[in-house]
Amino acid sequence: MVNLPRWAGIIVSKRGNSWLVSDTDDPRAALRGAALISCDGEDVEELARKNLGGFRVDWNVGAQQVQGAPWLLVNEGNPFVARPAACLFEHDGQRQTVKLNWMRIKRDSLLPRLQTAIGAGAAGYGVRRVGGGYWIALQSLMNSQTGNVVAAVEEQKAALRDASFVVLDMRGNGGGSSLYGRQIAASLLGSAAVDALLAPESTSACGAQAAWRASEGNIRNLDFLLHSDAVSMTPEARKSAEAQLLKMRSARSRGKSFSSEINCPDEPERPPSAVQPPSLLRGRLLLLTDNLCFSSCLAVTDDFLTLGAFHIGQTTDAATHFLEVREEYLPSGYSLFSTLQVVDPRSPYQVGPFEPTLIYNGDIADTRALEAWVVDAAVPASQK
């Protein structure tokens, strides 16, 4: 692959129903901000539905359309995709047709630019004051920084409960363990209020954990993650993973396909509590997501909406009850194959997408502007 000193490619982003040029170098820099209308006479929406929706994303999920859009004018060598020869753009009321001269670029150089074009945010980690309220930044649910945020919320829960509002910022959160979200909720609202509204963690007849496919590949992958520094695990997560590895090995030795039962009997419906314990949070609880919210982030979103949070930001991604992506290089070494290792029979087949009550139309990666919008617009809207 050639490492080019300058790159003249065109990256597009999807904003609502518009396809806009968000990144390019000379000599095409003048195209930035232009709308992509069509390619080879085919409407851009149909082209994207066929090329991206057929191979890269689920076109029925709006967040995945946004995530996949920057790949529209990237040639991955897919033999089933005919790459266009020319595209029609519109800029400042003028239309022009641009011939596409395909060129090679290193993936390491391209991926950061594609990621930026998606237009998602990065919450970071920590608890801080914003206006008259507090901001909890939680970009992941799977590393040591996550545990630090949970601990900080618990330590400052008295101040958080008395604040006029609290924002849980989950921009860029691709998942991990939803238990962290529940712990934060308990610190904010009180365990009694949370437990009365959310199902207990281990009420399922199938047990508290999902069922892992007991294949050699999955066993080898989990063993690698446990005995390497590839992933940072909390002590609780490590203990759970070690127990799951033993179950998988035991199931495989007995000729079983899964580490635990997957045919779960229907659970009896929980009777409503006679008295709902009051929330200890005096102010308004707001949940902020972007289009990258996936996996356990979706579970946390579902939980916080059940607890009465006011949802703001961007519409989330969606997932099924198949979990835990594992990737392996193909024999060629040029690309990866992805598979899912786990099924959670307790969950509905599809979770999400969740659409905010109040959508943010600005640059969701701009934290300073986003904070101002939350104070000036979102908090007042949440109190109506």
CATH number of the domain to which 78 belongs: 2.30.42.10
pLDDT at 327: 87
Q: Do 383 and 358 touch, CB atoms closer than 8 A?
A: no
Same domain, 142 and 83: no
Q: What is the mean pLDDT of residues 267-285?
A: 83
Same domain, 110 and 141: no
Tell me which of 203-207, 228-232, 244-248, 360-364 is least confident. Answer: 203-207
Sheet order of strands, 336-343 included: 211-212, 336-343, 322-329
Q: Collect all residues with Cβ–Cβ distance below 8 Å to 258 and sequence separation of at least 6.
A: 211, 212, 213, 214, 251, 343
Same domain, 238 and 312: yes
Q: Which residue has tokens 């104070």?
A: 375
Whether the bond into 200 is cis, omega within 30 of 0: no
Same domain, 195 and 102: no
pLDDT band at 1 (very low <50, low <70, confident <90, very high): very low
Q: 143 lies in a domain?
A: yes
Same domain, 114 and 132: no
pLDDT at 216: 95
pLDDT at 362: 93
CA distances from 57 to 11, 48, 250, 319, 347 (A): 17, 10, 35, 12, 22
Residue ranges making up the domain that contains 338: 125-261+274-382
pLDDT band at 323 (very low <50, low <70, confident <90, very high): confident
Write phi, then psi, for 363 (nearest 5 degrees).
Answer: -75, 105
Domain boundary among 77, 95, 118: 118
Same domain, 130 and 113: no
Q: 27 lies in a domain?
A: yes
Tell me which of 134-138, 204-208, 278-282, 319-323 is least confident. Answer: 204-208
Q: Do 276 and 289 touch, CB atoms closer than 8 A?
A: no
Same domain, 132 and 42: no
More confident residue, 313 or 271: 313
Q: 268 lies in a domain?
A: no
Same domain, 54 and 150: no
pLDDT at 73: 95
Q: 269 lies in a domain?
A: no
In sign, the C-alpha dihedral spanning 31, 34, 39, 40 is negative
Long-range contact pairs involving 343-348 (C-beta distance under 8 Å, separation at least 24): 343/210, 343/211, 343/213, 343/258, 343/262, 344/210, 344/211, 345/206, 345/210, 345/211, 345/261, 345/262, 345/263, 345/264, 345/321, 346/204, 346/206, 346/210, 346/264, 346/321, 347/321, 348/321
Same domain, 148 and 97: no
pLDDT digits (tens, 9 = 90+) for 324-352: 889 888 888 777 788 999 998 888 889 99
Q: What is the mean pLDDT of residues 164-175?
A: 97
CA distances from 169 to 10, 181, 298 (A): 31, 11, 13
Q: 1 lies in a domain?
A: no
pLDDT at 267: 66
Domain count across the chain: 2
Domain boundary among 101, 118, 135: 118
SS3 content of the chain, % helix, strand, coil (to 5): 35, 25, 45
**What is the amino acid identity at position 216?**
E
Report which of 367, 384, 383 is spatially closest to residue 130, judged by C-alpha positions.
367
Domain boundary among 84, 99, 118: 118
Q: Pull the structure tokens for residue 103.
A: 């060129």
Residue 204, pLDDT > 60, answer no
Q: 356 lies in a domain?
A: yes
Same domain, 22 and 152: no
Tell me which of 8-17, 157-166, 248-257, 359-368 is least confident. Answer: 8-17
Residue 374, pLDDT > 70, answer yes
Residue 258, pLDDT > 70, answer yes
Residue-averaged pLDDT of the chain: 91
Q: 91 lies in a domain?
A: yes
Q: Do 38 and 88 touch, CB atoms closer than 8 A?
A: yes
Q: 5 lies in a domain?
A: no
Q: What is the pTM of this model?
A: 0.86
CATH number assigned to the domain comprising residue 233: 3.90.226.10
Same domain, 212 and 229: yes
Same domain, 129 and 114: no
